[in-house]
Amino acid sequence: MSSSHLPPHMRPERSFQGLILALQTFWAEQGCVILQPYDMEVGAGTSHPGTMLRSLGPRPWNAAYVQPSRRPKDGRYGENPNRLQHYYQFQVILKPNPPNLQELYLGSLEAIGLDPKLHDIRFVEDDWENPTLGAWGLGWECWCDGMEVSQFTYFQQVAGIECAPVSGELTYGLERLACYLQNVESIMELNFNGREGAEKVTYREVFLQAEQEYSRYNFEHADTAALFRRFAEAETECRALLGKGESGERHLMVQPAYDQCLKAGHAFNLLDARGVISVTERQSYILRVRELAKACGAAWLKTEAGGAVA
Amino acid sequence: MPDLLLELLSEEIPARMQADAAAHLKKAVTDALVARGCLYEGARAVVTPRRIALSVHGLPVASPDVKEERKGPRVGAPEAAIQGFLKAAGLTSIDQATIQSDPKKGDSYIAVIEKPGRPVPEVIAEIVPEIIRAFPWPKSMRWGAASVSSSSLRWVRPLQSILCTFGPETEDPEVIRFAIDGITAGDVTRGHRFMAPGDIRVRRMDDYLTSLEKAFVVADPEERKRRILADARNLCFAQGLELVEDEGLLNEVAGLVEWPVVLMGTFEESFLAIPDEVIRATIRANQKCFVVRDPKTGRLANRFVLTANLEASDGGRAIVAGNERVIRARLSDALYFWQTDQKPLPDFEDKGKPLDQRMAKLRALNVVFHEKLGTQGQRVDRIKALARHIAPLVGADPDLAKRAAELAKADLMTEVVGEFPEVQGLMGRKYALLQGEHESVAAAIEDHYKPQGPSDRVPTDKVAVAVALADKLDTLVGFWAIDEKPTGSKDPFALRRAALGVIRLIIENQINIVLSSAFVFSMKELIDSLLNWQKPAKIEAAFIEQGNPTEEQAIHEDRAFLVRHDKVLENDGTTLTFHPVVGPYQTGPQTRVSLLSFFHDRLKVLLRDQGQRHDLVDAVLASGEGNDDLLLVVRRVEALAALLGTEDGRNLLAGTKRAINILRIEEKKDGRAYDGAPDSALVHDKGEPEERALFALLQSASAHARDHVAREDYAGAMKALAELRPAVDAFFDKVTVNAEDAALRENRLKILAELRAATATVADFSKIEG
């Protein structure tokens, strides 16, 4: 399947939104639920409950979605061509991973205009770990002509819990991929809507101001006292909700608790960007968030979607 | 005779694991076959990113019949013993056992169990699944629907198919049928992922290799390497350039492709402003491409060589363009790092020249060298003091040595080294020259890490030698003080390599240095620096959380994360503090003795590898004198070897060993030593002529030998000793040591003791073999 049937402004090699739509269409055709971005600040698509919680337990789950990723420390006031504090990941999660996941992935590259007969696609060892989520897996960086275009992981453990069955996770770094497809050197130069002339909207027009504003906030002005407070409050509330949700063999309030875990994680990321957490403390903060994630994961297994038997 | 062909096709196997996996498969299968009596003529394993294949040829059709004898109880043993034996031997009645007679032990039962041979396919179907299930991948995983069960098959990445055939050359082979986790073995494989993805039926290794070749797979890694290297050289040659060869990279690249297609790309000439080593590190580490040299200038050319896994329909134009794009971005970063490192460092502008500023930052950050040995800054201070102390001993200018030590680690704070740790030292040298440091200082910054192993270059610049010795001695003394010595195969801090480095520096530069006094100096520096250290806080709680392996992996990641994190924070101009943990330190004399004996062990290994007899080294070390000056030890070993190369030397050795033996026996018998001076009057009055001759000669020869030893002239000392030989021979020929006359006997033993003492000035002859 290629993109030649699309009108020019919708083609993934000309349009950032066209790229997103092409990936959504492709994975929808594979039977995925197309979710929308989670409405909270997260550092990566993996943190979306659609991956983090749904990858636990025995129930099959196939989903795809775009997730804005907030990495406060990666902000460069919009001046670095490749670094942003807010960027998009396209995330696919298939549980259990189908036996032909590699072929499906290659099919998705074709769908966005990367012909594997023309481009050198490679699977290069890269084992993935996320200490704050207590998660790890084995897989690859997927290279296209020497450039990393995706991360491909078979989850082995999430929230400190063995995955049974294992999910396959694909993460496409959309901006980088789009730069390659559109042949531009800087993310800000990306054509966002695929139009030309007066109708053309660039990534710069959409996001440059936001990058500048958030970089000021992240590095200079975020209220650290409030953030420390928010971290502690979120941690407390997460634990409280996990306690209150206990109902015999079942759990009734995992997702609200998990939201608090995400809030604590984001507060930590901001504090980290402000440089107010020492190295020693840093470890203990990561461990605290991980403990919340683990507790949420354990509680998830006691819910219906987590596979608990009535 | 039939052959076995086995192929395990999977998703992409990490390049670094492929060779070991192929070797393991070959060993495991052939060992298991041999253990079942199936001998074979030969075996060959090949490996690609997607498959491991093994052929074992010249196997029998069936395993041989085996007769086993099992010993039973004696005839007439209690019923319970008989029953137990029958059960264990698989017999139904004791009549089936034979009776063995033994004149001493009496009659006992023997069961002869006959195990008929089995068809080899059956044996293979039994052993291969076991080998697959127990395969020792460094990291393995579960996958797919089967992974609901925790006992599902583990492999390095999902295993897709198994091919297993068995049969003679002339016939269609038999497919060995077995299944593991739903994968049934067959006789089908697949070709290149993109160029020939269809099924291929295979019979045995030779048609397997040719069919795969037609399907764009070069199964043999050596053949892939050969093709990559040949094509890369040709591409370069055609442009009047030469490939910068790189065995490690070649191995890795050959493990990333099944069908190597070598292409050449270009980058902007302006990037050649970056040092060659940095260009190479960038292109190698991130892009796994080779760099190219211009033979006219000896410098890199603005080209690179990439190895694709595809014969692209456009001849590789898109592939080259894509790689060029990525390399351009990487080199832009590298150029930025290289230029930034030469500029003032924000917040440290007032701390001297650029490298001094970086060193100031390294100190300010309190980056920990080891949690019990303080920060990098403290370590640099210790190395400075030690290098200054050692400098006069090696003929170096103490101030230059001190300056070099001050800057030796500064490049750890540069952007380039942060990105490419493999160019540490080298970058320090370049930046030092750019800021006008003395050439010896610059050389020492690069070379103080050397030698890194038995074949690495040993620095010769005297300043470099002083700093290199100080760096290694501080490391060794420090780890000895916290009792982190190497044990068995574990040497996480590469202390053996450090000690070998010290030894090579000393010997190859002919330096006399008394190690134990260097240890004392270094220990004192260590204690002083630790006493000045800030109070410890507990970071263990954060790092050391006991748990399952995955937890440990996560913690390991935290550590790595921490290092990366520091860098980013620094960029934001924030200073970090780090509180180390302190523990008990061992800085007493036993520690120095233990460290010296570690050096002796490494010296023995080195000299043995150079072909020196280990017993000579032992003999010299056992003499106990001057053992902490390793250069003297080596010279004595060499002189001793030369002495033993002569007739006189060998006879002197035989005589001395005889003397030492007699003394050992008699001293033990009498419960005393015969170390005192012989009674010369008695020798003259009652002694035999040969005894008088040896006595007289011993006085002069041992005085000569001592004299030569004092002047470190070991050849001279040996020569003086060798002169004793005729007198020693004559003595043993004519004189009875254990004379009837007790006084005479004592005197003769004392003469032998003098011979022992005279030779002991260079070595303990009793340790020498032969």
Domain membership of residue B599 (yes or no) is: no
Decide: B515 and B629 in contact? Cβ < 8 Å.
yes
Rounded to a whole number of angstroms, the CA Rg of chain A reads: 20
Interface A:B, Cβ pairs < 8 A: 159
Cβ-based contacts of B256 with chain A (< 8 Å): 122, 124
Decide: A37 and A66 in contact? Cβ < 8 Å.
yes
Whether residue B567 has pLDDT greater than 70? no
Q: What is the ipTM of this complex?
A: 0.94
Lowest-confidence region among B173-177, B268-272, B684-688: B684-688
User: Which listed CATH number (3.30.360.10, 1.20.58.180, 1.10.10.410, 1.10.10.10) goes with A223-300?
Assistant: 1.20.58.180
What average pLDDT score do residues B528-534 get?
67
Residue A308 touches partner B, C-beta closer than 8 Å: no
Domain membership of residue B442 (yes or no) is: yes
Q: Which residues of A38-85 form beta strands (DSSP E)?
A: 61-70
Length in residues, chain A: 310
pLDDT band, very low/low/confident/very high, at B214 (cuts 50, 70, 90):
very high
**Tokens standing for residue B146:** 């089967």
∠ CA(B360), CA(B363), CA(B366), 5° rounding?
A: 150
Whether residue B582 has pLDDT greater than 70? no
CA–CA gap between residue B211 and residue A160 (Å, rounded):
45
Question: What are the beta bridge partners of residue B385?
Answer: none
Length in residues, chain B: 770
Cα atoms in the Cβ-side hemisphere of radius 13 Å centred on B722? 18
CA–CA gap between residue B419 and residue B405 (Å, rounded):
23
Domain membership of residue B407 (yes or no) is: yes
Residues 6+ apart with CB under 8 A from A289: A132, A261, A264, A265, A268
Domain membership of residue B358 (yes or no) is: yes
CA–CA gap between residue B175 and residue B167 (Å, rounded):
9
Rounded to a whole number of angstroms, the CA Rg of chain B reads: 36
Q: How far apart are the first and last CA of chain B?
A: 51
Q: What domain range is B440 assigned to?
A: 354-537
| Annotated domain spans of chain A | 3-216, 223-300
Cβ-based contacts of A178 with chain B (< 8 Å): none
In terms of CA atoms, which chain A residue is nearest residue B365? A279
Q: Based on the fold, state whether residues B400 and B431 are members of the same structural domain.
A: yes
Q: Which residues of A126-251 form beta strands (DSSP E)?
A: 128-130, 135-144, 147-158, 161-162, 168-173, 246-247, 250-251
B-facing residues of A in 194-233 (CB < 8 A) are: 219
- B570 by Cβ neighbours in 10 Å (0-12 / 13-18 / 19+) ranks as buried
How distant is the Cα of B605 from the closest Cα of chain A, in angstroms? Answer: 38
Residue B584 pLDDT: 62
CA–CA gap between residue A105 and residue B571 (Å, rounded):
37
Q: Which of A283, A285, A290, A294 to mutate to test the interface with B (most CBs of B within 10 A)?
A: A283
Cβ-based neighbour number of residue B150 at 10 Å = 8
- B396 by Cβ neighbours in 10 Å (0-12 / 13-18 / 19+) ranks as buried
Strand-strand pairing, B51-57 and B3-10: antiparallel
**Tokens standing for residue B10:** 């999977």
pLDDT band, very low/low/confident/very high, at A310 (cuts 50, 70, 90):
low
**Tokens standing for residue B338:** 């290289």
Domain membership of residue B349 (yes or no) is: no
Q: Based on the fold, state whether residues B372 and B462 are members of the same structural domain.
A: yes
Residue B563 pLDDT: 27
Q: Based on the fold, state whether residues B389 and B511 are members of the same structural domain.
A: yes
Condensed to tens digits (0 to 9), the pLDDT of residues B157-169 reads 999 999 999 998 8
pLDDT band, very low/low/confident/very high, at B533 (cuts 50, 70, 90):
low
B46: left (phi over 0), alpha (psi -120 to 50) or beta: beta
CA–CA gap between residue B551 and residue B544 (Å, rounded):
10
Are B322 and A82 a contacting pair at CB < 8 A? no
Whether residue A240 has pLDDT greater than 90? yes
CA–CA gap between residue B390 and residue B444 (Å, rounded):
14
CA–CA gap between residue B459 and residue B474 (Å, rounded):
18
**Tokens standing for residue B654:** 């035989």
Cβ-based contacts of A156 with chain B (< 8 Å): 141-142, 550
CA–CA gap between residue B619 and residue B590 (Å, rounded):
22
Residue A77 touches partner B, C-beta closer than 8 Å: no
Cβ-based contacts of B157 with chain A (< 8 Å): 138-139, 154
- Nearest to A115, CA basis, from A106, A124, A123: A106
How distant is the Cα of B22 from the closest Cα of chain A, in angstroms? Answer: 18
- CATH second-level architecture of A3-216? 2-Layer Sandwich (3.30)
Q: Based on the fold, state whether residues B743 and B725 are members of the same structural domain.
A: yes
Whether residue B745 has pLDDT greater than 70? yes
CA–CA gap between residue B9 and residue B382 (Å, rounded):
55
Does residue B726 have a cis bond before it (omega within 30 degrees)?
A: no
Cβ-based contacts of A123 with chain B (< 8 Å): 11-12, 49
Question: Which residue shows structure tokens 């990366």?
Answer: B564
CA–CA gap between residue B481 and residue B468 (Å, rounded):
20
Q: Based on the fold, state whether residues B273 and B369 are members of the same structural domain.
A: no
CA–CA gap between residue B646 and residue A5 (Å, rounded):
93
Cβ-based neighbour number of residue B200 at 10 Å = 18
Q: Which CATH number belongs to the domain containing residue B441 in this structure?
A: 1.10.3210
Q: Based on the fold, state whether residues B321 and B358 are members of the same structural domain.
A: no
Q: Based on the fold, state whether residues B74 and B160 are members of the same structural domain.
A: no
CA–CA gap between residue B448 and residue B439 (Å, rounded):
14
Condensed to tens digits (0 to 9), the pLDDT of residues A93-121 reads 999 999 999 999 999 999 999 999 999 99
Q: Based on the fold, state whether residues B652 and B721 are members of the same structural domain.
A: yes
CA–CA gap between residue B674 and residue B659 (Å, rounded):
12
pLDDT band, very low/low/confident/very high, at B295 (cuts 50, 70, 90):
very high
CA distances from B703 to A112, B697, B715 (A): 92, 10, 15
pLDDT band, very low/low/confident/very high, at B562 (cuts 50, 70, 90):
very low
What average pLDDT score do residues A224-238 get?
95
Condensed to tens digits (0 to 9), the pLDDT of residues B375-410 reads 888 999 999 999 999 999 999 999 999 999 999 999
**Tokens standing for residue B57:** 């040829």
Decide: A144 and A176 in contact? Cβ < 8 Å.
no
- Nearest to B259, CA basis, from B287, B227, B234: B227
How distant is the Cα of B321 from the closest Cα of chain A, in angstroms? Answer: 8
> Which residue has better confidence, A139 or B671?
A139
What average pLDDT score do residues B518-524 get?
89
Q: Based on the fold, state whether residues B93 and B37 are members of the same structural domain.
A: no
Are B148 and A164 a contacting pair at CB < 8 A? yes
Question: What is the overall mean pLDDT for chain B?
Answer: 87
Decide: B724 and B755 in contact? Cβ < 8 Å.
yes
Cβ-based contacts of B312 with chain A (< 8 Å): 117-120
Residue B285 pLDDT: 85
- The secondary element (H helix, E strand) that includes residue B99 is strand B98-100
Counted domains in chain B: 5
Residue B552 pLDDT: 36
- The secondary element (H helix, E strand) that includes residue B301 is strand B300-308
CA–CA gap between residue A78 and residue A212 (Å, rounded):
6
Cβ-based contacts of A278 with chain B (< 8 Å): 576-578
Residue A279 pLDDT: 59
In terms of CA atoms, which chain A residue is nearest residue B182? A99
Q: Based on the fold, state whether residues B456 and B532 are members of the same structural domain.
A: yes
Find the DSSP H helices in B261-312: 276-287
Q: Which of A123, A279, A290 to mutate to test the interface with B (most CBs of B within 10 A)?
A: A279
- Nearest to B732, CA basis, from B654, B669, B673, B646: B654
Condensed to tens digits (0 to 9), the pLDDT of residues B88-120 reads 888 888 888 888 888 887 888 888 888 888 999
Residue A244 touches partner B, C-beta closer than 8 Å: no
B-facing residues of A in 260-289 (CB < 8 A) are: 272-273, 275, 278-280, 282-284, 286-287
Q: Which of A138, A184, A290, A291 to mutate to test the interface with B (most CBs of B within 10 A)?
A: A138
Domain membership of residue B590 (yes or no) is: no
- Nearest to B157, CA basis, from A139, A150, A135, A92: A139
Q: Based on the fold, state whether residues B201 and B316 are members of the same structural domain.
A: no
- The secondary element (H helix, E strand) that includes residue B742 is helix B742-760
Q: Which CATH number belongs to the domain containing residue B705 in this structure?
A: 1.10.730.10
Distance of CA A277 to the CA centre of its chain: 25
Residue B557 pLDDT: 32
What average pLDDT score do residues A151-155 get?
97
Q: Based on the fold, state whether residues B95 and B52 are members of the same structural domain.
A: no
Domain membership of residue B284 (yes or no) is: yes
Residue A131 touches partner B, C-beta closer than 8 Å: yes
DSSP string across B607-671: HHHTT--HHHHHHHHHT-SSTT-HHHHHHHHHHHHHHHTSHHHHHHHHHHHHHHHHHHHHHHHHT
Cβ-based contacts of A119 with chain B (< 8 Å): 310, 312, 318-319, 322
- Nearest to B537, CA basis, from B721, B286, B330, B366: B366
pLDDT band, very low/low/confident/very high, at B579 (cuts 50, 70, 90):
very low
How distant is the Cα of B559 from the closest Cα of chain A, in angstroms? Answer: 9
In terms of CA atoms, which chain B residue is nearest residue A272? B569
Residue A256 identity (one-letter amino acid): P
DSSP string across B197-238: -SEEE--SHHHHHHHHHHTT----HHHHHHHHHHHHHHHHHH
